[in-house]
């Protein structure tokens, strides 16, 4: 019992360090120790290492009846319910397999996978190749799992709203042109959407959300949002995160050429429209930067926004 209490205290302490004072996640911490104690008994868990990479609550490596697994705790609600429904419907194809879940309390036990694609020493094109392979399987989950977006509330319209809401007065000199372009593109994508092409999108298929698996595909996706949108949205996200490579290019023209080639590769691998892939990628790059700044990750946020400025056409 003492070992179990120590394990729970360690996980709670790590979670507090990771979450800080974030308003959406701190309420989860209040009952975390009690929840962990219950799950340890109910699912026969032994708590191991805590993975505290990325944003949000940490994920815990566990042994579940002697089987390697991971325990994820999140804020219960519609977002978590959609994520869990997507994972369960996939049954391990393209996504991590669900071993047990408690949707009302925001808990899910998943198969334990390997290192993330983000940590792999691969080129951006090789990473996009792996993400595309996972997405092709992930899109097999029936789109009917998610309700259609109400008029004016589709993903592109939501992203246009993020640009308006998170924009700050002192952004104009450094990022104003990129913010304007992202807002314009988001409105265009919303106005020209074709709901008949919708798939059940992952929503955030970047390299850190793809973990090494045994078999085909080589990587499986985690943490889906599970909403309807055109497939080009997901594909745009796969090419969104390479800000370091954009900023390291010898000039802006080279950066844009390399980025365009990456969009073409991603579109070819997924049989999607390259122009819309590039448009989604730009909007996502800007809105991700704004979101990361709201999450107090200033350095990473600036890299996204600076890269978006580089990728603006002359």
Domains, the chain, with CATH or none: 2-111 (3.30.200), 117-311 (3.90.1200.10)
Rounded CA separation 253/266 (Å): 20
Rounded CA separation 200/245 (Å): 30
Average pLDDT over residues 113-118: 95
Assigned token pair, 43: 């699912």
Of 116, 119, 158, the C-alpha closest to 290 is: 158
Percent of the chain scoring above 90 in pLDDT: 76
Residues near 273 by beta carbon (within 8 Å), at least 6 away in sequence: 232, 267
Whether omega before 233 lies within 30 degrees of 0, making that bond cis, reads: no
pLDDT band at residue 313 under the 50/70/90 scheme = low
Assigned token pair, 314: 């002359």
Q: pLDDT tens for residues 58-87?
A: 789 999 998 999 999 988 999 999 999 999
Of 98, 107, 89, the C-alpha closest to 42 is: 107
The pLDDT of residue 75: 87
Total Cβ atoms within 10 A of residue 257: 12
Is the separation of the CB atoms in 243 and 155 below 8 Å?
A: no
Total Cβ atoms within 10 A of residue 187: 16
- Comparing 299 with 11, the larger pLDDT belongs to 299
Query: Which of 103-107, 262-266, 292-296 has the highest mean predicted lDDT (pLDDT)?
Result: 262-266
Strands 59-64 and 199-201: unpaired
First to last CA, the chain: 65
What 3-state DSSP class applies to 202?
Answer: coil
Instruction: Using the predicted structure, report yes or no on whether residue 21 has a pLDDT greater than 80.
Output: no
Rounded CA separation 146/277 (Å): 22
Average confidence score pLDDT of the chain: 92
**Distances 129 to 13, 21, 78, 125, 238 between C-alpha atoms, Å:** 38, 37, 31, 6, 9
């Amino acid at each position: 019992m003492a070992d179990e209490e120590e394990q729970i205290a360690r996980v709670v302490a790590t979670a507090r360090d990771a979450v800080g004072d974030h308003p959406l996640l701190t309420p989860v911490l209040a009952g975390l120790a009690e929840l962990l104690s219950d799950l340890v008994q109910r699912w026969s868990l032994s708590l191991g290492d805590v993975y505290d990479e990325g944003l949000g609550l940490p994920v815990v490596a566990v042994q579940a009846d002697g089987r390697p697994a991971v325990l994820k705790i999140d804020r219960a609600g519609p977002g978590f319910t959609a994520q869990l429904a997507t994972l369960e419907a996939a049954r391990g194809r393209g996504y991590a397999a669900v071993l047990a879940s408690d949707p009302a309390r925001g808990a899910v036990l998943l198969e334990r996978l390997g290192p993330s694609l983000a940590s792999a020493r691969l080129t951006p094109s090789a990473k996009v190749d792996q993400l595309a392979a996972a997405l092709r399987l992930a899109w097999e989950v029936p789109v009917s799992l998610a309700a259609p977006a109400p008029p004016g509330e589709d993903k592109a319209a939501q992203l246009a709203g993020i640009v308006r809401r998170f924009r700050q007065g002192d952004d104009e000199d450094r990022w104003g042109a990129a913010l304007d372009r992202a807002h314009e593109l988001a409105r265009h994508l919303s106005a020209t959407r074709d709901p008949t092409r919708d798939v059940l999108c992952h929503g955030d298929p970047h390299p850190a959300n793809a973990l090494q698996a045994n078999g085909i595909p080589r990587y499986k996706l985690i943490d889906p949002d599970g909403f309807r949108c055109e497939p080009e949205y997901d594909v745009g996200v796969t090419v969104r995160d390479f800000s370091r490579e954009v900023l390291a290019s010898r000039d802006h023209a080279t950066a844009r050429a390399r980025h365009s080639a990456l969009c073409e590769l991603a579109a070819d691998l997924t049989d999607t429209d390259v122009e819309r892939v590039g448009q989604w990628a730009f909007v996502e790059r800007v809105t991700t930067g704004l979101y990361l700044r709201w999450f107090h990750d200033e350095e990473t946020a600036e890299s996204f926004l600076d890269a978006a400025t580089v990728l603006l056409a002359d």
